[in-house]
Amino acid sequence: MFTPIIPTGSSKPIAPYVHGTKADGVVYVSGTLAIGPDGASVPGDITVQTHYVIEQIAGVLKAAGATLSDIAYNIIILKRREDYSAFNKVYAEYFGANPPARYCIIAELVRDEFLVEISSIAHTAKS
């Protein structure tokens, strides 16, 4: 059994999924893209999109009673290898002091304008 997590004001999913689920104190955040509440892509470079995606993940975690510091594992997909350094600069702003384990690959994303997608797993107190 799990509890769906859908933060107030979040974007409408572009496929059949919820933004996150919580089961036995573990929060699973779906792959998060730079999609605004209106369903449109958030314009900008890798820096803008990375900030937006991580803030959206923070919103899902908050709705589940967790924070970014509860993340144990991130799965990262970048569209372009040349964005890796700029991505890491933004990522370090959020996770630099005590970073979680992570997996990062270069691959196509579901829309051409998306540059990054991140999925997270966070551990909290059981509920």
What's the CATH number where 78 sits? 3.30.1330.40
Q: How far, in Å, are 11, 41, 108, 115, 116 from residue 111 at the CA level? A: 15, 9, 8, 9, 11
pLDDT of 24 > 80? The answer is: yes
DSSP state of 58: H
What does the pLDDT look like over 63-77, one tens digit per residue? 999 999 999 999 999
Q: How many domains is the chain partitioned into structurally?
A: 1
Cβ distance 60 to 17 under 8 Å? no
Please, which residues have CB within 8 angstroms of residue 83's CB and are 6 or more apart in sequence?
A: 46, 115, 116
Q: What is the pLDDT of residue 13?
A: 83
* pTM: predicted TM-score of the whole model, two decimal places: 0.95
pLDDT of 62 > 70? The answer is: yes
Residue 67's domain spans which residues?
3-123
pLDDT grade, residue 22 (50/70/90)?
very high
